[in-house]
Structure 1
């Protein structure tokens, strides 16, 4: 902008200087022309005055006498007129001259001023005089006297005129320099007034180019530059609104992409990845920074995926496929490759939608296994009931002892079938969350004592000792019925899998926040627990380490024969786990074969 301001100032100075110089030239030429014209008019008048007062010598006078007469007369007239005076006869012979001897002077008939005077009545001419070596102004006028024609010529040096012109040029140059200085200052002020708003507009335009759409021009004028400033501000307002909309749309799009459960990959027509959602990063185990801008064949994935994408590019049709991925972990993915078309015909790339269906397929497999297990579990007691009923119908009913034995088996299997159906329905309701928890404060000391008391009869049959260790005044917010169901299931398992004479211990204790970090607590700190821990430990047969991860699965039994003989349905621990999770708690198991098993439950004191 400074360069522009300098150029504008120089242009304005040049224009002013050229104008002044041209005006000076015109004025000088006009001054010279007018001055010479005035001199010519004055000299014409002087010639007429000289002619009227001059006594012309007779032709009979000797030529030498005429030379002397007219020369003296010319010299006398020069003193009055201040100009060189020349008398010329009609044939061009110089009769007398105020400055030179006429006898030595050339014939003047062909002189420009004489010829012009002869034809026009007044002759004028400017030329360098050979005699005085100066530019001279010559004016000649024809005079007729006694039927004889003469020419009177006045000559005046233009030295004074040229000096006046030089003085004029000197003054003109001085004034031109002064005017240049003034013009430079004025031009700079004018250029500054023009360029400063333009400079501000340029700065604002550059800020807008750098995406600073809050930049505005401070408009102070209502001229064309002011209109330009208003236009820039209007453009910035429009751009700011549009960019806000674009940012909002981008934010919404990013939020949608980041929160989609499916992974999205966009590939342009050249095969380069232009978009990779966060979920796609997690599924593929590759960050967007590594893939965006690169060709899809450079992705660290199995060859089958690249083949599917290549097929989608070739056919430009929708492709649906399921594929097992092994990196970063083994999972089953559902792939949907959708061609992207612009204006219905222009192919611009493909959209790859990745969905992890491992959990869905696992649930489907679990559902199938559940149905198979239910069918198997139901089939066993039904087959037993049917078989013994057929035996009774075949005549065994007549044998009272056999009939009683068979009927007892039928009754036991019916009870088992009833428990199995009850547990299946209970688990179904729990998993579907159709039975909401009825939360209320539970005092754990008395609650645990009552629960243990309910199980004492069953424990006494196997001479198993039940022991309770519970601190006083421990409270928890829970569904009392569901909490009792949890404890009774675990106690029943402990009793069933503990040999006669064994022991089952129930421990209820508070869990303090990890920040406490001290073994000795004050009474106030002891009351500030946020969780409780229920531990049910038995001295039973234990669980092998390989079976520990699966014991909470439905129908999973470690010792199938013993479990079935004990009346278990295989759903107890699964029900316990779901009920604990409904209370926002956790359950863990520790076991050693031949030593015993310990279940550890932690529940929050308060629910949100």
Structure 2
């Protein structure tokens, strides 16, 4: 813009300077022409006066004529202050005020002589005189006898005064021209600045808008075309800012939706290159967006079945749904939905892929099937026993009182077992569906733990098992008292059930505090350890599954339903706690529970 301003200023200076220079040249030419015309007219008048007062009919020899006319010319020069020359009709110089006529060449072809001869009035010419070495103005008048020219009277005056005047005019003109250039330069720069500055501001704002900075506006107070252009730029910037804000908001919403989706989303463009994938897709595929974006789908190191599905969708241009087992980065089952993308005109634009991780769904379906099978099996056993013994009684065993009493006892025990099983199933269902809200309250642990141990003391004494209690200090914790009692009694009951006679079950409670003041990060640890038969290492990962039993025969004989540890695990998690198990076959088992000391 500065270069444009300089060029505009230069153009203004050139235009103004050219105009002034042309006017000056024209004025100087007119002045010179006027001066010469005035001088020519004056010399013509003088020549006619001299012509009228001079006798031109002299006779004699050529030397006598030379002398006569030269003397006459010298006398007239003194009064006219100009060079005078007498020329015969054939061009011979008869007399000259400044030179010897005998030595002068013929003047018939001189411009002023030819003009005077032709016009019969006068002739004039300007030329450089090598004799006096300056420009001279020559004016000649013819001497007539009737229509015949008998000679010429010529006067010559120096143009030195005229040239001096012209030089002075040029000097003044040059000074004025320089002054005009300076003034014109200042005015031109000011005019150019007033024209280009708003354009410069508009250009700067347009550049900022191009760089996606829509906050800039043109500060133009003019109402001319430039002002209208500035206002138009401002309106355009307002519109662009509004539209870009909307686009940015929509883009952020779309990005938030994509990033928040648990399903993986992949977009493949018309050239078969990966154009977009969200965070879930990165986690599912095991590759980052930086590694996959811009690459062709068949060069992205993906599973063969997956790339084949993509190619099939590209070929058939129709929706495809399938389930594929992925083995990298870990084994999982994915539901893949491939949808072709087309513009309004039907032109192929690419492919949208949605990946759903249905591993958990399939696992839950399998667990549900196993649960149904386990429940059916568990229910079938006591029902079959009840039915069998009832049929036996109906067949005549009622008459034998001892046998009838024994059978009725078995029917009662199986009914109790069936009742416990149904109760545990309903309890677990409620806990898993979180339909049982926990009622947190301060629990004084020392008497609370003592009460739990006292409840189980009778059962422990039947097997000669020693119950040990160790509470580290007198403190409170926030918990649902009933559910915490259910957790501890269930684990103590398991320990007693699977510990041989004369064994030991120990319950230890300790406070895990990081500082002097209690915070939400502080925990309470419950450790229930027994000296029982232990759990094989291969069974430890599945110990908290529903109906999973390490020793199925012994579990049934002890009256267990196989749901106790699963209920415990869910109750611990509802308390935002963790439970883990350590065990060694033949040595014993240790359950370790950690719960927050206080809840938010």
Residue 588 (str. 1) matches residue 589 (str. 2) = no
> How much has 1:43 moved relative to structure 2?
1.9
Q: Please name the residue that 2:156 is paired with.
A: 155
Relative distance call for 1:492 and 1:55 in structure 2 (3 A) is closer
1:463-501 CA distance string (max 9 Å, x none): 333333335643222222222222222222222222223
Q: 1:69 to 1:363 in 2, by over 3 A?
A: same
Residue deviations 1:316-360, cap 9 Å, x none?
Answer: 222212111111111111111221212241212112212211111
2:404 aligned with 1:389 = no
Cα pair distance change 1:506/1:148, threshold 3 Å: closer
Partner in structure 2 of residue 320 of structure 1: 321
Shift of 1:238: 4.1
Q: How many residues align?
A: 597
Are 1:574 and 2:574 counterparts? no
Q: Secondary structure at the match of 2:534?
A: coil
Query: What pairs up with 1:365-376 in 2 under 5 angstroms?
Result: 365-376=366-377
Deviates more, 1:199-208 or 1:537-546: 199-208
Shift of 1:229: 5.1
Deviation of residue 361 (structure 1)?
0.8
Deviations 1:537-583 (A, max 9, x none): 32222211221111110000010011111111111111111111112
Corresponding residue for residue 331 of structure 2: 330
Partner of 1:487: 488
For 1:452, what is the secondary structure of its paired residue?
helix
Matches within 5 A, 1:169-180: 169-177=170-178, 179-180=180-181
Q: Displacement, 1:199?
A: 5.2
Q: Is the 8 A contact 1:544 1:593 kept in 2?
A: yes
1:456-467 → structure 2 map (5 Å cutoff):
456-467=457-468
Q: Which moved more, 1:325-334 or 1:338-347?
A: 338-347
> In angstroms, what is the RMSD of aligned CA positions?
3.4
The aligned counterpart of 1:504 is 505
Q: TM-score, normalised by structure 1?
A: 0.87
C-alpha displacement of 1:529: 9.1
Asked if the contact 1:263–1:355 (Cα under 8 Å) also holds between the matched residues in 2, the reply is yes
Contact 1:90–1:109 under 8 Å retained in 2: no
Match of 2:428 in 1: 427
Q: Does 1:271 align with 2:272?
A: yes
- 1:203-244 deviation per Cα after TM superposition (whole angstroms, max 9, x unaligned): 555444444444455557666666555555554444444433
Q: Given the superposition, is the C-alpha separation of residues 475 and 41 from structure 1 closer, same or farther in structure 2, using an over 3 Å criterion?
A: same
Task: Encode CA deviations 1:293-334: one digit per residue, 9 max, x unaligned.
Answer: 222223232222222222222222222121111111111111
How far does residue 90 in structure 1 lie from its aligned partner after superposition?
A: 6.5
- Equivalent positions of 1:118-157 (< 5 A) are 118-119=118-119, 121-128=121-128, 135-142=135-142, 151-157=152-158
Counterparts of 1:568 and 1:109, CA distance in 2: 154
Looking at structure 2, the residues matched to 606 and 55 of structure 1 have their Cα atoms a distance apart, in angstroms, of 148
* 2: CA distance, partners of 1:529 / 1:456: 34
Verify the 8 A CA contact 1:265 1:351 in the aligned structure 2: yes
Q: Distance in 1 between matches of 2:72 and 2:184?
A: 58
Structure 1 residue 442 corresponds to structure 2 residue 443 = yes
Q: Deviations over 1:20-57 (max 9, x none)?
A: 433333233222211111112212222333344x1434
**Kept after mapping to 1: 8 A contact 2:519/2:598:** no
Q: Is residue 473–residue 510 contact of structure 2 (8 Å, CA) maintained in 1? A: no
- For the residue of structure 2 that corresponds to 1:77, the secondary structure is helix
1:24-423 matched pairs, under 5 angstroms = 24-52=24-52, 54-58=53-57, 61-62=59-60, 64=62, 69-87=68-86, 96-99=95-98, 106=106, 108=108, 111=111, 113-115=113-115, 118-119=118-119, 121-128=121-128, 135-142=135-142, 151-177=152-178, 179-180=180-181, 183-184=184-185, 187=188, 202-217=203-218, 219=220, 230-423=231-424
In structure 2, how many angstroms separate the alpha carbons of the residues matched to 1:292 and 1:376?
A: 53
- CA apart distance, 1:369: 0.7
Q: Residues 107 and 113 of structure 2 are in contact (CA less than 8 Å); yes or no, is this contact kept in structure 1?
A: no
SS across alignment from 1:125: strand
State the distance in 1 between where 2:471 and 2:134 align: 142
Residues 112-165 of structure 1: CA distance to partner in whole angstroms, max 9, x if unpaired?
A: 554456437443333456876654433344565688766544333334433443
Change (3 A) 1:73 1:472: closer
CA distance in 1 between partners of 2:99 and 2:65 (Å): 15
Task: For structure 1, list consecutive stretches of 5 or more residues without a partner in the other structure.
Answer: 517-523
Instruction: Measure the CA separation in 2 of the matches of 1:188 and 1:86.
Output: 60
SS of the residue aligned with 1:21? Answer: helix
Question: What does residue 591 of structure 2 align with?
Answer: 599
Q: Distance in 2 between matches of 1:131 and 1:550?
A: 137
Q: Distance in 2 between matches of 1:394 and 1:571?
A: 36
Tell me if the contact between 1:91 and 1:109 (Cα under 8 Å) persists in the aligned partners.
no
Displacement, 1:460? 3.2
Distance 1:511 1:234, change over 3 A: same
Contact 2:535/2:585 (<8 A) preserved? yes
Report the CA distance shift for 1:115/1:339 in structure 2 as closer, same or farther (over 3 A).
Answer: same
- Out of 212-221 and 313-322, give the one that drifted further: 212-221
8 Å contact kept, 2:545–2:566 = yes
How far apart, in 2, do the equivalents of 1:130 and 1:479 lie?
136
Change (3 A) 1:66 1:558: same
Partner of residue 564, structure 1: 556
What is the distance in 1 between the residues matched to 2:247 and 2:487? 55
What is the TM-score when the length of structure 2 is the normalising length? 0.88
Change (3 A) 1:68 1:114: farther
**Other-structure match for 2:18:** 18
Matches of 2:22 and 2:520, distance apart in 1: 103
